[in-house]
Structures are given as C-alpha cells and as structure tokens.
C-alpha cells in the first residue's frame, strides 16, 4: 500500500461546479503506511437548495442537511484530517477543488499533494477502456457499502489501491504515484503553490512579466487547467513556450460563467492592451459591407459600421476590423460564387471582366447573366456575413450566477453592445444612461449573438429603452 500518511476523500455536492455549488457530505478514510486508522463522515448544510436530480442520485435530501453543520463549522475537523496527507480521490480535481473552494469561502487557504485514482488507473492500465468507479469496482471485484454516499465511496479507495498493487506490484504503483506527485508543470520562476491556488471555475487570467508588465490576458471555463496548459510541454506551441518563459506573475478573476469570462476578457484586452494579445485588440474603426442599388444592380460599399447598420432592412454585412479585411472578404465570396468583379466595382476598365475570360464569371458584365439574378447570387454569397438586427425594442439583461456567492449578475446589453455587468438596479440605470456613448465593438457583437442563440428565456430580462 502507499507509503506515508494518506487521506482517501469523497464528497457529495449540490452540483458540478465548485464556484457555484456546495458540499452536502464529506467522507474521509485515513491510512498510515497502508493501514486504515480512521473513518469519518458528516453531512454538511450547503446553505443552498439541493436540486431534485441530485437528491435522487445521492439520496441526500434538503431535509437531511437542514440541521447539519455548515462547512464553516466543520472546517477544523476537515483540516485536521487532511493536513499533511496525500489527498486521494477518484476524479480528484473535483473533490479537491470543492474542498479548496469551501476553505476559500471562510477566508482560509488549503493545499495538499493530490493523487487521482482515475489518472492512476489510466497510467497503470492504459489498455482498459473505462476507468470510472463503477467499472473499477466491477473489474476488481470490490465491495462498496453505500455507492454515491461520501464514506461509502471513500472507503472503497483503499481496496482499489490494494487491487492495483496486487496486479502490478507495490513498487510499480508507488513509482507512478511519485512521478505524478512530483511532476512539475510550472517554470521555476513561478510560485510552487500556484497550481493549488488556481480555481477550477470560469474566469479571466492575466500574465505579467518583469516589473509587473502585462503580457497576456486569457479566459477559460476552467482557469486551473487552462493556465497550467500554457506551461505544459506536451501542449505548448512555440508561441506559448516563449510566453511561458516571460511570465513572472499570474493573476485571475473568477466569473460566474463562460459569458462573463468572454465579455471580461474582451473588455480587458481593449482597455489594458497586453503585448501578446492580438485577436481582441481595439480597432480604430469597425467596417462593414452595405449593398446599395446603382445603375440597376446591387453594388457593395465598404463603410464604417454604426448602429444604423444594425437596424432591420439595413442590408449590411460584417463586421470587419479594417477596410482591407472587408475588401478581402468580399473578393473571396465573389470568387467562390463566380460573381462579376466589374459589376461589384472591384475591377475597372473597358470591356468584360477578367473573370469572364478565364471562366470565373457568368457574364453579368456583358449582359449574359441578368442583373437581378446576379443580385440574388450576391446576397446568397454574403448571407453568412449578414449583420443581425437587434431583436429587442431596447436594452436587455442576461442573467448569470455570481462567482462569489449564490446571487446573480446581470450583463447589460443594448444593440449587441455590452454596457457592463450590474449587481443591482442602480448600476443597471447608470449603464443605460450612457448606452449611446459606446462605439461599436465587433467582439461584443459576436459574443452576445452566440449567447442569445442558446440562452434560456428565463435568463433574459427586458430593460427600459435607453435615451439616444
């Protein structure tokens, strides 16, 4: 069995995200040099409702935890059993992330070396197809007293480790455990405990170099895994490798969900202009393509994008960061659809266009293709780039859970532009008051448009129309 002090841990929770959900039960089995020395468990009042699906899955009901101690009241009991021990769990990052989040909520830090029995099983038995706990219990002929309860699942882990050792030998298991524990994924110039401090939830992270200079801003649904990925040699591009060598400090801001992370990243990149970010940089002016009728045909014009291009019937396409990008997109769509460059105004000179001479134009420039048909094919070619008109009468709020508690935030959006994130009605009113002062942001447009496509109606709030 594993050498040294070990704590086998399992938790039951109200959901799957440590930043939003809470622990409902904790089970800990302590081992010293392979010998079980204590088993301990407690229900935990999560201070939030347990969803019916979770009640059905675990058997832990809201009534059962109503009079249970909170994690704050149990923190000393939990810490005394975990401190100084190897933290062992199945899918350990889940359990470890929840424990760390609970300690963080009560103003305390917690860190421990971690061993995941899922990863251990995969390393020892790479030919096996599945490594979930039910499969391993069946594969190794183990007994679990109470499945999906904290102590029952924690108590099966010592038997699982013993089964691994029986199959490949104790030395081989210890070798893999030691390799996983002491595998460094962080460069030496970053704090050794950074991997333990990084949260598992969504948010934005900042990389700073020498003297605190901001190098890079990024976002992720899982801050810990994404930040560590930057420094993992197996996943790094040459660009990421160079970036990793420059980083001296890592900061992060947790958000309640992916939308908040996307919007915050976009805003911070534009406001702070980190040196390694290119994609979300602030553009001097955003361009669009608008179709206007001239001489009996639709002609594309490249214009600076304004809110008028988002009105119904505007017939505008984009957005594009530069006039050059817009022209390049238009030329590409025209070539794909065999449109006439001369009718589109992209080519000048007498006679037919060059495309007709090489078989890439259907003859609109010489009357072979009727202009109405050419117009229809132009609209079809540009359809994927069409700017969506704002589907609401005024501004809207998009609800998202707050990262620092059970409440909700409201992302205030008007005509595709993110005005800010509010916690109360006063902040909403202030944002709506200055709605018209913001320039069009193509990144905000794309983020909000994608969000609204799949947003449940219950998370959308109609707000008063802003003064224009």
* pLDDT per position as a tens digit, 341-391: 999 999 888 888 988 988 889 999 999 999 999 999 999 999 999 999 888
273 to each of 213, 373, 444, how far by Cα in Å? 11, 46, 17
| Sign for the pseudo-dihedral over CA of 210, 215, 219, 224 | negative
Average pLDDT over residues 180-196: 71
Give the pLDDT score at 108: 92
pLDDT for 100 beyond 50: yes
Average pLDDT over residues 182-191: 69
Percent residues over pLDDT 90 in the chain: 60
pLDDT for 185 beyond 70: no
- Asked if 186 and 227 count as a contact pair (C-beta separation under 8 A), the reply is no
pLDDT for 324 beyond 90: yes
What pLDDT, in 10s, does the model give residues 102-111? 998 999 989 8
What pLDDT, in 10s, does the model give residues 225-235? 889 888 876 55
Residue 352: name the closest of 344, 335, 370, 340 by CA: 340
Ramachandran category for residue 11: left, alpha or beta (phi over 0 → left; psi -120 to 50 → alpha): beta
65-69, 179-183, 195-199, 331-335: least confidently modelled range: 179-183
Q: Which two tokens stand for residue 170?
A: 């104790």
Cross-strand pairs, 70: 45
Provide the CA 107 distance to its chain's centre, in angstroms: 25
Q: Which two tokens stand for residue 173?
A: 């298991």
Q: How far apart are CA 103 and CA 131, in angstroms?
A: 29
Give the pLDDT score at 77: 97
Confidence grade of residue 237 (pLDDT, cut at 50, 70, 90):
low
- Asked if 329 and 322 count as a contact pair (C-beta separation under 8 A), the reply is no
Q: At what angle do helices 323-336 and 371-382 cross, to 10 degrees?
A: 120
Average pLDDT over residues 321-329: 93
Residue 288: name the closest of 270, 271, 269, 301 by CA: 301
Give the pLDDT score at 168: 95
What pLDDT, in 10s, does the model give residues 296-319? 899 999 999 887 888 877 889 999
pLDDT for 91 beyond 60: yes
| Domain definitions of the chain by residue range | 5-182, 194-272, 287-385, 396-462
What pLDDT, in 10s, does the model give residues 29-61? 999 988 999 999 999 999 999 999 999 999 999
- Asked if 203 and 253 count as a contact pair (C-beta separation under 8 A), the reply is yes
Give the pLDDT score at 405: 62
What pLDDT, in 10s, does the model give residues 404-415? 666 789 999 998
Give the pLDDT score at 467: 45
- Asked if 166 and 179 count as a contact pair (C-beta separation under 8 A), the reply is no
Task: Say which CATH superfamily domain 5-182 falls into.
Answer: Ribonuclease H-like superfamily/Ribonuclease H (3.30.420.10)
Residue 346: name the closest of 358, 334, 356, 336 by CA: 334
The residue with tokens 């599945």 is 130
Strand pairing report for 86-89 and 5-13: parallel
74 CB contacts (<8 Å, ≥6 apart)?
26, 42, 44
Indicate the SS3 state at residue 187.
Answer: coil
Q: How far apart are CA 210 and CA 295, in angstroms?
A: 60
Average pLDDT over residues 229-255: 80
Q: How far apart are CA 303 and CA 64, in angstroms?
A: 63
Confidence grade of residue 117 (pLDDT, cut at 50, 70, 90):
very high
Give me the CATH code for the 194-272 domain, please.
3.40.1440.10
What is the CB neighbour count within 10 angstroms for residue 227? 23
- Asked if 132 and 126 count as a contact pair (C-beta separation under 8 A), the reply is no
The residue with tokens 């105004």 is 345
**Half-sphere exposure at residue 269, Cβ-oriented, CA atoms within 13 angstroms:** 24
Q: How far apart are CA 417 and CA 436, in angstroms?
A: 10
Burial class of residue 412 (count of CB atoms within 10 Å of its CB; 0-12, 13-18, 19+): buried
Give the pLDDT score at 124: 95
Strand pairing report for 86-89 and 114-116: parallel
Cross-strand pairs, 400: 409
Confidence grade of residue 282 (pLDDT, cut at 50, 70, 90):
low
Q: What is the pTM (predicted TM-score) of this model?
A: 0.65
Average pLDDT over residues 434-458: 85
Give the pLDDT score at 241: 75
pLDDT for 183 beyond 60: no
Give the pLDDT score at 182: 53
Alpha helix stretches (DSSP H) within 320-467: 323-336, 354-357, 371-382, 425-433, 442-454
208 to each of 153, 248, 279, 299, how far by Cα in Å? 42, 6, 18, 48
Provide the CA 304 distance to its chain's centre, in angstroms: 32
Give the pLDDT score at 96: 92
Strand pairing report for 287-294 and 297-304: antiparallel
Query: What is the b/e burial string over 331-352, where b = at least 16 CB atoms within 10 angstroms of the residue's CB?
Result: eebbeeebbbbbbbebbeeeeb
Confidence grade of residue 403 (pLDDT, cut at 50, 70, 90):
confident
């Amino acid at each position: 069995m594993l050498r040294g002090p070990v704590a086998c841990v399992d938790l039951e929770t109200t959901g799957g995200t440590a930043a939003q959900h809470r622990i409902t039960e904790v089970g800990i089995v302590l081992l010293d040099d392979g010998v079980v020395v204590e088993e301990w468990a407690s229900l935990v009042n999560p201070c939030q409702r347990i969803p019916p699906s979770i009640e059905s899955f675990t058997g832990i009901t809201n009534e059962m935890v109503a009079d249970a101690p909170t994690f704050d009241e149990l923190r000393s009991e939990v810490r005394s059993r975990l401190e100084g021990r190897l933290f062992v769990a199945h899918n350990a990052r889940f359990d470890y992330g929840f424990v760390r989040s609970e300690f963080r909520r009560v103003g305390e830090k917690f860190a421990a070396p971690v061993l995941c029995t899922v990863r251990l099983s995969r390393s020892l038995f790479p030919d096996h197809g599945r490594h979930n706990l039910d499969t391993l219990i069946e594969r190794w002929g183990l007994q679990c007293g109470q499945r999906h309860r904290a102590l029952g699942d924690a108590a099966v882990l010592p038997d699982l480790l013993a089964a691994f050792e029986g199959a490949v030998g104790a030395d081989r298991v210890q070798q893999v455990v030691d390799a996983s524990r002491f595998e460094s994924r962080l460069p030496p110039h970053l704090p050794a405990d950074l991997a333990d401090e990084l949260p598992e939830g969504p948010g934005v992270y900042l990389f700073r170099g020498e003297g605190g200079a901001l190098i890079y801003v990024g976002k992720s649904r899982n801050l810990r895994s994404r930040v560590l990925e930057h420094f993992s040699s197996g996943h790094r591009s040459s660009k990421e490798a160079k970036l990793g060598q420059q980083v001296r400090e890592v900061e992060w801001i947790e958000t309640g969900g992916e939308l908040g992370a996307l919007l915050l990243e976009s805003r911070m990149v534009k406001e702070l202009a980190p040196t390694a970010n290119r994609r979300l940089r602030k553009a001097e002016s955003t361009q669009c393509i608008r179709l206007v009728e001239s001489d009996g045909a639709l002609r594309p014009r490249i214009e600076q994008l304004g809110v008028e291009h988002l009105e119904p019937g505007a017939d505008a396409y984009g957005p594009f960061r530069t006039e050059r990008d817009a022209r390049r997109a238009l030329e590409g769509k025209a070539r794909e659809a065999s449109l006439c460059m001369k009718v589109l105004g992209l080519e000048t000179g007498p006679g037919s266009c060059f495309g007709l001479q090489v078989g890439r134009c259907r003859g609109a420039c010489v009357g072979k293709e009727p202009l109405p048909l050419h117009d229809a094919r132009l609209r079809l070619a540009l359809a994927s780039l069409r700017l969506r008109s704002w589907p609401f009468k005024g501004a809207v709020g998009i609800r998202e859970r707050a990262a620092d508690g059970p409440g909700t935030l409201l992302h205030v959006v008007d005509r595709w532009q993110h005005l800010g994130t509010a916690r109360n009605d006063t902040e909403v009113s202030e944002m709506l008051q200055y709605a018209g002062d913001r320039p069009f942001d193509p990144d905000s447009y794309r983020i909000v448009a994608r969000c609204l496509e799949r947003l449940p109606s219950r998370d959308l709030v109609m707000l008063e129309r802003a003064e224009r």
